[in-house]
């Protein structure tokens, strides 16, 4: 494989060969790989992207003047992995429409039920995809291809890629799926095959390294704010009413923080990046008591991965990640016990909209973003690029190597201006500090 430009953080993109086929359409909007895009980061952006490099060069996304694959002889495959997220069907649709209309690719197939679909023992048939078959799928949540979270044998996956004569594989998935994509690229490279693998990062938690916004996040925040408003109304309607909303966010509290900022009604925000005490004068129980004595109502938003130090399951999933304990249920029990001992009224309303948030169709903003992601993924693949993802950095659509985004997960910087602004809307420090 050949490498293009690199930097302190290697942003070079691999190719499976030299593109020699002249694209049919006019080259006026074609991207020149010899002229990388230089983006200057602010200190806030650096902290959010998880880097300390002030200026970085990126390969700009878009159509190229020369292609590696002959479109008339190209077969593309699409697979969706991991949990659901608003916009998956939009990305599938965009890939199909771009491959068909822009490049006249004759064969596009969907792999069913995630990486399982490559394993013969499961017996899944592939799905033939065309503009007609995907015409209305963006109206619905979920994925028409199905999904799974299993680990599968990389050798068998690449065997299937060869048997299906796939030239390009598009993998739509989160952190685990992008790591699987990297392993697939390595196996393809080891075998000396010419198969392009392009990732489209998908995680509702918005925790992909170097990517400030993953698709579906905007929709998730919008839906989450509805739950927060409902909990706020419930809390206001009774004396000492408490609304507790648990949102998605296993290791990163981006949805909870953004929804808190959007509503400006939350009194306590709890995220995985910031530990909190329950007991004692500076613990959450006393902070909530002070809030209720002063205002007679309270609204709490918690990300699912927050407060795990107070919930010990001792179990792990198939990837070795610790299983999350039920922090919502734990808080309810502790709140009720505390206020009963203090002989104080407490009326709890608990809302967990997680599966509603992740299974709804994308909103208009995410649909536009998904369309761009699908288009640029196809442009990159047809030019022979591989081992990369398409993403937005600052306001530009760029290519990022899989190695860069799978290095670590992105988390909230609790010392950033953004997080300080979120904390200001809650004023929770007032109740934690007050003795």
Is 352 catalytic? The answer is: no
CA nearest 253: which of 43, 48, 41?
48
Q: For 198, which DSSP code?
A: E
Contact 255, 220 (CB under 8 A): yes
- Phi and psi at 298, nearest 5°, equal -155, 150
Q: How many degrees, rounded to 5, is the angle at CA 146 between CA 144 and CA 149?
A: 150
Token code pair at residue 380: 């990159």
Residue 245: beta bridge partners? Answer: 301, 351
Integer Cα distance of 282 and 298 in angstroms: 17
Contact 129, 97 (CB under 8 A): no
Per annotation, catalytic residue among 10, 32, 52, 205: 205
- Sequence-ordered list of residues with C-beta below 8 angstroms from that of 208, at least 6 positions apart, any chain: 174, 175, 178, 201, 214, 391, 405, 409, 410
CA nearest 351: which of 169, 187, 176, 229?
229
Token code pair at residue 360: 């709804």
CA nearest 202: which of 114, 96, 100, 99?
114
Q: Coil, strand or helix: which one is 271?
A: coil
Overall size of the chain counted in residues: 435
By annotation, the residues acting in catalysis are 205
């Amino acid at each position: 494989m050949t490498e293009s430009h690199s930097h302190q953080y290697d942003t070079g993109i691999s190719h499976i060969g030299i593109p020699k086929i002249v694209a049919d359409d006019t080259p006026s909007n074609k991207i020149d790989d010899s002229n990388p895009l230089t983006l200057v980061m602010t200190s806030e952006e650096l902290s959010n992207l998880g880097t300390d490099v002030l200026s970085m060069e990126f390969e700009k996304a878009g159509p190229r003047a020369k292609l590696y694959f002959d479109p008339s002889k190209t077969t593309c495959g699409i697979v969706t992995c991991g949990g659901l997220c608003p916009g998956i069907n939009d990305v599938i649709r965009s890939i199909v429409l771009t491959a068909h209309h822009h490049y006249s690719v004759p064969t596009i197939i969907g792999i069913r039920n995630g990486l399982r679909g490559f394993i013969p023992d499961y017996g899944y048939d592939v799905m033939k995809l065309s503009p007609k078959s995907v015409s209305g799928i963006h109206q619905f949540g979920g994925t028409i291809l199905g999904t799974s979270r299993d680990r599968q044998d990389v050798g068998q996956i690449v065997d299937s890629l060869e048997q299906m004569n796939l030239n390009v594989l598009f993998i739509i998935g989160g952190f685990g799926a992008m790591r699987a994509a990297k392993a697939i690229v390595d196996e393809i490279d080891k075998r000396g095959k010419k198969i392009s693998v392009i990732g489209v990062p998908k995680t509702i938690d918005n925790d992909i390294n170097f990517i400030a916004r993953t698709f579906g996040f905007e929709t998730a925040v919008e839906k989450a704010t509805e739950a927060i408003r409902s909990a706020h109304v419930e809390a206001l309607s009774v004396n000492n009413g408490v609304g507790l909303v648990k949102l998605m966010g296993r290791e990163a509290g981006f949805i909870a923080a953004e929804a808190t900022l959007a509503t400006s009604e939350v009194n306590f925000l709890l995220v995985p990046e910031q530990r909190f005490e329950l007991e004692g004068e500076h613990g959450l129980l006393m902070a909530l008591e002070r809030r209720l004595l002063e205002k007679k109502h309270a609204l709490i938003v918690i990300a699912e991965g927050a407060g795990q130090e107070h919930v010990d399951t001792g179990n792990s999933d198939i990837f070795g990640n610790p299983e999350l304990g039920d922090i919502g249920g734990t808080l309810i029990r502790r709140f009720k016990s505390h206020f009963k001992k203090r002989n104080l009224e407490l009326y709890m309303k608990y809302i967990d909209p997680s599966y509603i948030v992740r299974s709804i169709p994308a909103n208009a903003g995410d649909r536009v973003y998904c369309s761009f992601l699908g288009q640029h993924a196809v442009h990159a693949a047809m030019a022979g690029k591989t081992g990369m993802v398409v993403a937005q950095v600052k306001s530009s659509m760029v290519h990022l190597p899989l190695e860069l985004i799978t290095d670590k997960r992105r988390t909230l910087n609790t010392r950033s201006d953004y997080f300080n602004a979120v904390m200001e809307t809650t004023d929770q420090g007032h109740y934690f500090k007050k003795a």
